[in-house]
Amino acid sequence: MIHDKTLQIAVIGGDLRQAHLANLLARDGFYVSALCLEQDVYLGDDVKQGEDVQNVLSRSDVIVLPLPVTVDKKNINTPFSKQKLAVRDVLTYAKKDVLLLGGMPDPELRTKCEQMGLTMIDYLEREELAVLNAIPTAEGAIAIAMGERASTIYGSTCILTGYGRISKVLSRLLLNMGARVIIAARKPSDLAWIRINGCEGIHISKIKDYADQADILFNTVPAMILDEEILSCLSRDCLVIDLASKPGGVDFDMAKNLRIKTIWALSLPGKVAPISAGAMIKETITNILTERGIIY
Amino acid sequence: MIHDKTLQIAVIGGDLRQAHLANLLARDGFYVSALCLEQDVYLGDDVKQGEDVQNVLSRSDVIVLPLPVTVDKKNINTPFSKQKLAVRDVLTYAKKDVLLLGGMPDPELRTKCEQMGLTMIDYLEREELAVLNAIPTAEGAIAIAMGERASTIYGSTCILTGYGRISKVLSRLLLNMGARVIIAARKPSDLAWIRINGCEGIHISKIKDYADQADILFNTVPAMILDEEILSCLSRDCLVIDLASKPGGVDFDMAKNLRIKTIWALSLPGKVAPISAGAMIKETITNILTERGIIY
Amino acid sequence: MIHDKTLQIAVIGGDLRQAHLANLLARDGFYVSALCLEQDVYLGDDVKQGEDVQNVLSRSDVIVLPLPVTVDKKNINTPFSKQKLAVRDVLTYAKKDVLLLGGMPDPELRTKCEQMGLTMIDYLEREELAVLNAIPTAEGAIAIAMGERASTIYGSTCILTGYGRISKVLSRLLLNMGARVIIAARKPSDLAWIRINGCEGIHISKIKDYADQADILFNTVPAMILDEEILSCLSRDCLVIDLASKPGGVDFDMAKNLRIKTIWALSLPGKVAPISAGAMIKETITNILTERGIIY
Amino acid sequence: MIHDKTLQIAVIGGDLRQAHLANLLARDGFYVSALCLEQDVYLGDDVKQGEDVQNVLSRSDVIVLPLPVTVDKKNINTPFSKQKLAVRDVLTYAKKDVLLLGGMPDPELRTKCEQMGLTMIDYLEREELAVLNAIPTAEGAIAIAMGERASTIYGSTCILTGYGRISKVLSRLLLNMGARVIIAARKPSDLAWIRINGCEGIHISKIKDYADQADILFNTVPAMILDEEILSCLSRDCLVIDLASKPGGVDFDMAKNLRIKTIWALSLPGKVAPISAGAMIKETITNILTERGIIY
């Protein structure tokens, strides 16, 4: 990749992912400044630190905000820093033609950017990042299953709901580990792919008929699928792992009543593999910059 | 699958696929009559044969026409029969509420059906059949590569263009056989999937840079991709297999000039695995009948 | 499997593996009595408990001792029981034609059995059990790697020493998860298999040349292979997991000096997957009984 | 690999494998002369041709004879040449300290070499070559199955006898193509490996019970296993492929009587992938030279 080495990038706040992202961008030869990332993170020598915030913001061509950008809608999310940095300050100090990149900026923030004529892109909406995130999610799900159970994945029967990105990656891992993998989906073409990929495909309306065979049940659908009817069919030893973002897909209260062990595993990439997650964000950002002609 | 065993199905014309389809439908318990399928095909005892054509057509609830329905727009395509059956006769004799199923009915025929109030469905437009057809296509492509080359697939370098259904299935087979697999695609998310699936992803604009490494080049994109510029980069020993339907994606004249061996492999499912192809059509038809509430 | 349902089997001491073994033998229809297995284990209703020890021992056709049989050479190893049972008592009360099965009976005990005319078989010496044990060992090694690192297995570079059972199973899992897998072995035929199986094979004398690329280094050879010379080539972030039984294959002191994180993972099957490990012992015992004509 | 570039190697007779072997050795920088290889083969410019036979033989440090060395015990096997070269002449003209490498030299020839104080090594006895040869054998077997059947490998049920090198490679290919793979073996540890590798393992004494499910039956055991009893259980559509060297493992007469299609596929590597087979011999010869300290 050839690019303008004079491009100035500010990487602000966030966690280990953001720190690793800064290191990788610097390794690519960009002029990278890190802000609000001074505690318990490793930053390479080629990442500039301790500079004046206003100075950095006002000269940067690209500003990479964390994931999520903010949790209180007021300050940038800076869990690895003692400093506070107001969102409004970032917008105010930034150059007019800056490119703002952030993870899940809230609608309010997006509106404010528009009003100020600033370009804000949510890198989490990029399809390739969603695809890549399926890897640490799937590995994390398997780590949970290994840690919670007294049996091997090999020889176990796993039921997965849905056949989206996570289910595609997770089912292949499980299959390759020697599990029997049953996937509940709806579309005939998904059921065809499931079978081609070596798993058993069942229509989602038939989960109940297979539920008692499950050693592990992974939900990937963000809708109430695992309700009382299905939960009550599960074996007492079955482990339920919900990988769906809110509102999740399991009736947790009912599961508790039925004494079925249930784990709601959210945001696995940042938790189990922040280094890899940082590399994935870096790749996505590189794609964005390339598509916009900023690097080439 | 529960269904009305009194459902009458006529299976007409076509080749080994159609014959196997008739056998499978009969094995499921339907009342199946075969027409224009009397030469060099095996039909089980439970498939009715030799009945009066008009009689069969006028009583059938479902009429399965071949793939393609017709080649001359006048008669049904009946390569395994000495009989001729005019398309117009089928439409005339059929019950008013019949369900006509056919492969690639031409626009003219579709219009005629509409005018006559008959329902005609092209089962080849079903996504699950397109998915399933990728299997015999991929196997057939590998059989060609094996037959044409003096080396194993193992250890070879294969370049594939595109990442649609055929490319997905074929690349996995090649990878599992020990080939190095490079896939040229365009979308960042496709490139992410390609890498996750163990292959090397390159942007389609970069094929030229990798072309000289290819032992086999499989095209799956129905657009002129393998033009003079790319073909002239190939090794003299490289085998080019074009799997794209018309107009194909290879400049065949140029390939000939450059003495590069090129094979345009069309319609592989019916050629290399008619039995399996028949089973796939049968599954698709079953899905159609189920969705329409005809069987349940 | 057909067998004499009147066969009486005593299952004594041990841990969760032994308890699960008792359950599985009972599920097969044998008359199973459990001794010294009353705390924190689940035993099914069809496993007899609380019987008189002498009575059980004197009537049993087969006595299954734990793994290991004893840790102090005096008493049977009964970690899930408050009772003590002397090894000598077992030998004294047992029928003359009993079949004693145990895991790693010490030489002294074997000699004593011989003197008393009793048949003692070490099921851990069975090749199929060693093969099967490679599964929980490999899964456990991956669980450790996942837990200790901030990156995914996908995309990591793993070096394995040796190409025995554990390395064969582990390398395939890692490869299927998307790691680059380098295996150091000695025999040309092993190096051929390694390559056929999709990994990179290097002669064990060349580890040093590859060591700096390793994100994870798994040792499976019970000999000092990872000495100062090799350890000092590793990246500071590399994780070393030693899966070799005593004396292990890593210079742990040197690793500590070099600040390289090293984990000596012993006896993983019983720790990470006792249920599965019990099932594997059960299968092995069934093979032994079949070969000896006790069941058929 | 570092070696003495002045090493002189004569490559004599044989087929496309031998020609490719000569090319590869020359590409590695050795001084390579080809004899009796002048028809319908491609030899690179760096392979010396047309030299005086006696001259080449008398100066060569290593002489590579074909596979097999001879078919009539008198002359070297030279199917791609009009010349004749007596075995005795090779032995007579060769340097005293020459290293003779040949494929399957007959006992008589080996004795003669010993008497003359010449070192003759049969490279076909090398385990790594036997392992590598399993690849073209397995691919060739699949090509045959694809060519003979009207169904895909995907979805088929394959039974394999034995779990040696060919069966290990072939079963993995079939499994990865989506076949159900049943392997009949004898040793409990082989049955454990078979299951770990994703196939179904059955004791070889039980083939009869599974035979009627087979779409394809591959024999890899060179002993009469597929006798009348088993053949008569096969479906009429089952294809039998015998991959075992003489005497094979199928009662061919009985198979004919029962109208079961049977193919005895011998020497597949040289037939289906001579280029790859040549590369494998080259690798094996390189190993031999390295182990003997001739190259290093």
**D41: alpha, beta or left? (left if phi > 0; alpha if psi -120 to 50):** beta
- Token pair of B96, please? 């008013």
- Residue A2 in this model has a pLDDT that exceeds 50: no
- Residue D88 in this model has a pLDDT that exceeds 70: yes
Question: Looking at residues C140-163, what average pLDDT do you find?
Answer: 98
Q: Distance, in angstroms, between A184 CA and closest chain D CA? A: 20
Asked whether residue A2 is domain-assigned, the answer is no
Domain co-membership, D164 together with D61: no
Domain co-membership, B116 together with B194: no
Spell out the long-range contacts of C237-244 with Cβ–Cβ below 8 A and sequence spacing 24 or more: C238/C214, C239/C145, C239/C148, C239/C149, C239/C215, C239/C263, C240/C216, C241/C141, C241/C144, C241/C145, C241/C216, C241/C217, C241/C265, C242/C218, C243/C137, C243/C141, C243/C166, C243/C170, C243/C218, C243/C219, C243/C268, C244/C219, C244/C220
Q: Is C5 exposed, middle or buried (0-12, 13-18, 19+ CB in 10 A)?
A: exposed
Asked whether residue B158 is domain-assigned, the answer is yes
- Token pair of B42, please? 């095996």
The pLDDT, as a whole number, for residue C1 is 46
**Contact flag C154-A276 (C-beta cutoff 8 Å):** yes
The pLDDT, as a whole number, for residue D4 is 63
Report chain A's mean pLDDT, rounded to a whole number: 95
C154 touching B (Cβ < 8 Å): yes
Q: How many CB pairs under 8 A join C and D?
A: 45
B188 touching C (Cβ < 8 Å): no
Angstrom CA distances, A178 to C146, C147, D182, stand at 19, 21, 16
By CA distance, what is B132's nearest residue in D?
Answer: D154
By CA distance, what is B195's nearest residue in C?
Answer: C178
Closest CA to C67 of C113, C7, C115, C129: C129
A154 touching D (Cβ < 8 Å): yes
The pLDDT, as a whole number, for residue D218 is 98
Closest CA to A168 of A193, A146, A200, A143: A193
Of D128, D132, D192, nearest to C131 by CB-CB distance is D192
**Contact flag C187-D131 (C-beta cutoff 8 Å):** no
Angstrom CA distances, A293 to A21, A59, A286, A290, stand at 20, 19, 11, 5
Domain co-membership, A228 together with A135: yes
DSSP 8-class letter at A31: E
pLDDT tens digits for range C229-242: 999 999 999 999 99
Query: End-to-end alpha-carbon separation of chain C, Å?
Result: 6
Question: Looking at residues D18-33, what average pLDDT do you find?
Answer: 96
How many domains does chain C contain in total?
A: 2
Domain co-membership, D145 together with D256: yes
Question: Looking at residues D174-185, what average pLDDT do you find?
Answer: 98
A192 touching D (Cβ < 8 Å): no
Residue A182 CA to residue A197 CA, distance in Å, equals: 11
Question: Looking at residues B132-150, what average pLDDT do you find?
Answer: 98
Domain co-membership, B168 together with B195: yes
Asked whether residue A216 is domain-assigned, the answer is yes
C2 confidence band (pLDDT: 50, 70, 90): very low
The pLDDT, as a whole number, for residue A135 is 98
B196 touching C (Cβ < 8 Å): yes
Residues D241/D144, Cβ–Cβ less than 8 Å: yes
The pLDDT, as a whole number, for residue A3 is 57
Q: Distance, in angstroms, between B269 CA and closest chain C CA? A: 29
Ranges of H-type helices in A36-149: 53-59, 87-93, 107-116, 127-148
The pLDDT, as a whole number, for residue D2 is 47
pLDDT tens digits for range A86-141: 999 999 999 999 999 999 999 999 999 999 999 999 999 999 999 999 999 999 99
Q: Distance, in angstroms, between D147 CA and closest chain A CA? A: 22
The pLDDT, as a whole number, for residue A296 is 78
Report chain C's mean pLDDT, rounded to a whole number: 95
Q: Distance, in angstroms, between B295 CA and closest chain D CA? A: 25
Closest CA to A139 of C151, C237, C215: C151
Ranges of H-type helices in chain D: 16-27, 53-59, 87-93, 107-116, 127-148, 165-176, 188-196, 207-210, 228-231, 252-257, 268-272, 274-291
By CA distance, what is B188's nearest residue in A?
Answer: A128
Asked whether residue A1 is domain-assigned, the answer is no
| Residue span of the structural domain in which C239 resides | 129-265
Asked whether residue D296 is domain-assigned, the answer is no
B246 confidence band (pLDDT: 50, 70, 90): confident
Domain co-membership, D167 together with D231: yes
CATH at residue A31: 3.40.50.720
Of B127, B134, B189, nearest to A131 by CB-CB distance is B189
- Residue C272 in this model has a pLDDT that exceeds 80: yes
**Contact flag A196-B126 (C-beta cutoff 8 Å):** no
Domain co-membership, A95 together with A160: no
Q: Count CA atoms closer than 13 A to B279's CA, side-chain side.
A: 13
Q: Which residues of C touch B196 (CB under 8 A)?
A: 154, 178
DSSP 8-class letter at D213: G
The pLDDT, as a whole number, for residue C3 is 57
Domain co-membership, C156 together with C212: yes
- Token pair of D12, please? 């004599």
Domain co-membership, D21 together with D116: yes
The pLDDT, as a whole number, for residue B4 is 63
Ranges of H-type helices in chain B: 16-27, 53-59, 87-93, 107-116, 127-148, 165-176, 188-196, 207-210, 228-231, 252-257, 268-272, 274-291
Asked whether residue A3 is domain-assigned, the answer is no
- Token pair of B66, please? 């071949």
Report chain D's mean pLDDT, rounded to a whole number: 95
Antiparallel, parallel or unpaired: β A99-102 and A62-64: parallel
For an interface test with D, the pick among C165, C193, C291, C296 (most D C-beta atoms closer than 10 Å) comes out as C193
Residues D170/B177, Cβ–Cβ less than 8 Å: no
Of A139, A147, A149, nearest to C153 by CB-CB distance is A139
pLDDT tens digits for range D103-122: 999 999 999 999 999 999 99
A143 touching C (Cβ < 8 Å): yes
Report chain B's mean pLDDT, rounded to a whole number: 95
Domain co-membership, C100 together with C136: no
Asked whether residue A38 is domain-assigned, the answer is yes
By CA distance, what is C286's nearest residue in D?
Answer: D188
Residue A8 CA to residue C149 CA, distance in Å, equals: 31
DSSP 8-class letter at D4: -
- Token pair of C184, please? 């150091």
D151 touching B (Cβ < 8 Å): yes
In this complex, the chains that touch B, judged by 3 or more CB pairs closer than 8 A, are A, C, D
Domain co-membership, D258 together with D160: yes
Q: Looking at the DSSP assignment, which residues form a beta bridge with residue A180? A: A157
Q: Which residues of B touch D16 (CB under 8 A)?
A: 150
C277 confidence band (pLDDT: 50, 70, 90): very high
Residue A200 CA to residue B1 CA, distance in Å, equals: 17
- Token pair of B11, please? 């299976």
**Contact flag D151-B273 (C-beta cutoff 8 Å):** yes
Domain co-membership, D84 together with D157: no
Q: Distance, in angstroms, between D99 CA and closest chain C CA? A: 20
Question: Looking at residues A138-145, what average pLDDT do you find?
Answer: 98
- Residue D1 in this model has a pLDDT that exceeds 50: no
By CA distance, what is C180's nearest residue in B?
Answer: B198
D178 touching A (Cβ < 8 Å): yes
Residue A120 CA to residue A100 CA, distance in Å, equals: 5
- Residue D153 in this model has a pLDDT that exceeds 50: yes
- Token pair of C20, please? 């699960």
The DSSP-derived string for D165-208 is HHHHHHHHHHHHTT-EEEEEES-HHHHHHHHHTTSEEEEGGGHH
Residue with tokens 């437009």: B125
Asked whether residue C1 is domain-assigned, the answer is no
Question: Looking at residues A286-295, what average pLDDT do you find?
Answer: 94
Threshold 0.90, pTM exceeds? yes
- Residue A4 in this model has a pLDDT that exceeds 70: no
Residues D105/D122, Cβ–Cβ less than 8 Å: yes
Phi, psi of C32 (to 5 degrees): -110, 130
Dihedral sign for Cα atoms in the order C71, C75, C76, C79: negative
ipTM over 0.85: yes
D152 touching B (Cβ < 8 Å): yes
Q: Which residues of A touch B191 (CB under 8 A)?
A: 128
pLDDT tens digits for range B61-93: 999 999 999 999 999 999 999 999 999 999 999
